[in-house]
């Protein structure tokens, strides 16, 4: 048995990709989060351009400033989050190999990246207009200070509070083109805000024991799986009316979005009957990822049809 364990460890070490300075940097800024959040930023930009009768190429400078600026502030905020979580990341399987845990990137360098990227990103966004810049500031502060430094470790509602910053990307995109922020822009904000609790609760269910060991009061840790399931279904149900406030995108979009919402709700309700909670949480997590990609891509397409 001891030999088998040694062999397994050896195989794991062989298969594990070698760490490089670039891969460490990508992990530090959480490039996956940055890339996925640029989709709603672009969707907000695109819809604002369409509904304000502006041409993409004529607004190219604004588009570039907004996308680059948003990427920088998100990357910088994620670096700050990694710095703040250095004490709990070693406890969790999915975070224990972060360069801030292993020491491959020093705390001083992490802070340098964080401040540099956030300041540079905010400058770029403020070059579009003050409204977009102000939303960017609120997004950074709500993620780094309100969520990472306070709510995450203190409150069971940490996920909901963290959703404020996660819902800022489409608002930044829209405000860069149209600072008046009409109802459509706020529907994008609401969609992103409501989407996050069921998404992250699903992840938390899969990692409950890790969060418990780290002392993070996630909903499944504090109130159990049954209460988490009820909360997830409640949040998904709140998405149902959103498409009907976005009829400017056309009936086909409303139908598609409603089908996606109903499908997610039915999957959520199915969780009451499924015996394997972790399998159900995984299905909910995967559905949420596909949901976000499909619905924002559909917005961009249907806006020009």
Q: Per residue in 99-132, pLDDT tens?
A: 999 899 999 999 999 999 999 999 999 999 999 9
CATH number attached to the domain at 26-302: 1.10.600
* pLDDT over 90, % of the chain: 88
- Give the 3-state secondary structure of 58-104: HHHHHHHHHHHHHHHHHHHHHHHHHHHHHHCHHHCCCCCCCHHHHCC
Domain boundaries, the chain: 26-302
Question: What is the distance between the alpha carbons of residues 4 and 299, in angstroms, rounded to a whole number?
Answer: 52
> What is the per-residue pLDDT across 207-230, written as a single tens digit (0 to 9) for each?
999 999 999 999 999 999 999 999
Q: Which two tokens stand for residue 239?
A: 């998405």
Enter the pTM of the model. Answer: 0.91
End-to-end CA distance of the chain: 63
Question: What is the distance between the alpha carbons of residues 205 and 134, in angstroms, rounded to a whole number?
Answer: 35
Judge whether residue 3 has pLDDT over 80: no
Three-point CA angle 81, 83, 88, nearest 5°: 85
Res 117: pLDDT: 98
Question: What is the distance between the alpha carbons of residues 66 and 175, in angstroms, rounded to a whole number?
Answer: 10
């Amino acid at each position: 048995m001891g030999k088998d364990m040694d062999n397994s460890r050896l195989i794991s070490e062989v298969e594990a990709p070698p760490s490089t300075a670039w891969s460490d940097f990508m992990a530090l800024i959480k490039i996956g989060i940055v890339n996925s959040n640029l989709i709603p930023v672009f969707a907000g930009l695109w819809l604002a351009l369409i509904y304000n009768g502006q041409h993409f190429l004529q607004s190219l400078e604004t588009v570039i400033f907004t996308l680059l600026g948003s990427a920088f502030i998100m990357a910088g905020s994620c670096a700050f989050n990694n710095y703040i979580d250095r004490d709990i990341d070693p406890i969790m399987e999915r975070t224990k190999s972060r360069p801030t845990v292993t020491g491959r990137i020093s705390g001083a360098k992490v802070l340098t990246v964080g401040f540099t990227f956030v300041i540079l990103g905010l400058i770029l966004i403020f070059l579009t207009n003050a409204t977009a810049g102000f939303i960017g500031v609120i997004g950074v502060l709500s993620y780094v200070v309100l969520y990472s430094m306070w709510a995450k470790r203190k409150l069971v509602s940490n996920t909901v509070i963290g959703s404020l910053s996660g819902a800022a990307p489409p608002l930044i995109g829209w405000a860069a083109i149209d600072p008046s922020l009409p109802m459509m822009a706020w529907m994008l904000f609401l969609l992103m805000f409501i989407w996050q609790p069921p998404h992250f609760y699903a992840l938390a269910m899969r990692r409950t024991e890790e969060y418990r060991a780290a002392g993070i009061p996630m909903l499944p840790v504090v109130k159990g799986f049954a209460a988490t399931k009820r909360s997830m279904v409640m949040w998904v149900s709140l998405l149902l009316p959103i498409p009907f406030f976005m009829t400017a995108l056309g009936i086909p979009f409303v139908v598609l979005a409603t089908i996606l919402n109903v499908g997610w709700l039915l999957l959520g309700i199915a969780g009451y009957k499924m015996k394997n909670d972790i399998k159900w949480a995984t299905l909910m997590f995967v559905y949420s990822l596909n949901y976000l990609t499909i619905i924002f891509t559909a917005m961009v397409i249907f806006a020009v049809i």
